[in-house]
Amino acid sequence: MKRFTDRVALISGAAQGIGEATALLFAAQGARLVLLDLHAESLARVAEGCAAQGADVIAQPGSVAERSAWDAAVAAALARWQRLDILINNAGITRDARFEHMGVEQFDAVIDVNLRGVFHGAQAALQPMLAAGRGAIVNTSSVVGLHGNFGQTNYAAAKAGVIGMTKTWAREFGPRGIRVNAVAPGFIATPMTAAVPAKVTEKMTAAVPLQRLGAPEDIANAYAFLASDEAAYITGTVLEVSGGLSM
Ligand code: NAD
């Protein structure tokens, strides 16, 4: 039996990187999917890949920073399947700069997507989950949200905020059957980190006890575990998936 047979999952940021790997893994595990991303073309390509694995999938272009995009994605799931079981709140961006040079527009852009986007997603997804009395939400934080990082005031603030929201929602909604957890990835090889100079990547890799960057699938596997019934007694936790970076 596949892990997510009959389950409906909404995955944001699904057009590339970790979100793409997650969509393909959930499809292989029998989930029915709504995929939300800014980039309609790449999203359609990922949706085709999921459909090729036999998944029933809806590609929903839109921005996680807009509540209306989330409402449309949730409405699409309910219209087709009358349920929503899982939210993977994965979309995220970076706009790095040293703090003394960081413009407020850089700060706001990252907060809008990485923090407010997660807020909107959870609020939209909770409605059908609360009505059903069950559901699982997985939010994407980062090791940067735990420890801070040079040049990432905006990103660290958002990712630390995600942890605060995750724990708050775990307390508020645990009694009503909904689990809320976060994953804190370390350095993962995706388009987000592809622009990092090779020298820096080498330095980053050297700091990781497992001596490699993570693959998108490493994070997808953590999302899948926390979203599945195998994690039925886990809520309010932050699962670091970083090759041991934080020790
Ligand atoms: P990525 O840039 O490869 O993919 C992010 C996806 O999110 C893209 O498809 C993009 O179009 C989408 N997206 C961006 N803004 C959006 C918006 N407003 N609305 C809808 N979709 C939007 O990044 P990734 O590395 O796959 O990152 C996925 C998540 O993991 C992010 O939350 C990121 O912060 C987090 N993370 C990544 C790393 C890493 O090393 N790659 C480390 C820690 C945390």
Q: Which of 16, 192, 217 to mutate to test the pocket of ligand 1 (most atoms within 8 A of CB)?
A: 192
Residue 52 CB coordination number (10 Å): 10
pLDDT exceeds cutoff 90 at 241: yes
Question: Which residue has a Cα nearest atom 10 of ligand 1?
Answer: 13
Does 231 score more than 90 pLDDT? Answer: yes
Q: Taking all residues of the chain, what is their mean pLDDT, rounded to a whole number?
A: 97
Q: Where are the beta strands (DSSP E) in 53-105?
A: 57-61, 86-89
Largest CA distance in the chain: 54
Backbone angles phi, psi at 216, to 5 degrees: -50, -35
Instruction: Verify whether ligand 1 is closer than 6 Å to residue 113 (CB atom).
Output: yes
CB distance 141 to ligand 1 below 6 Å:
no
Please state the pTM of the whole predicted model.
0.98
Distance 9 CA to ligand 1 centre (A): 18
- The answer, yes or no, to whether any atom of ligand 1 lies below 6 A from the CB of 185, is yes
pLDDT at residue number 228: 98
* List of domains in the chain: 8-241 (3.40.50.720)
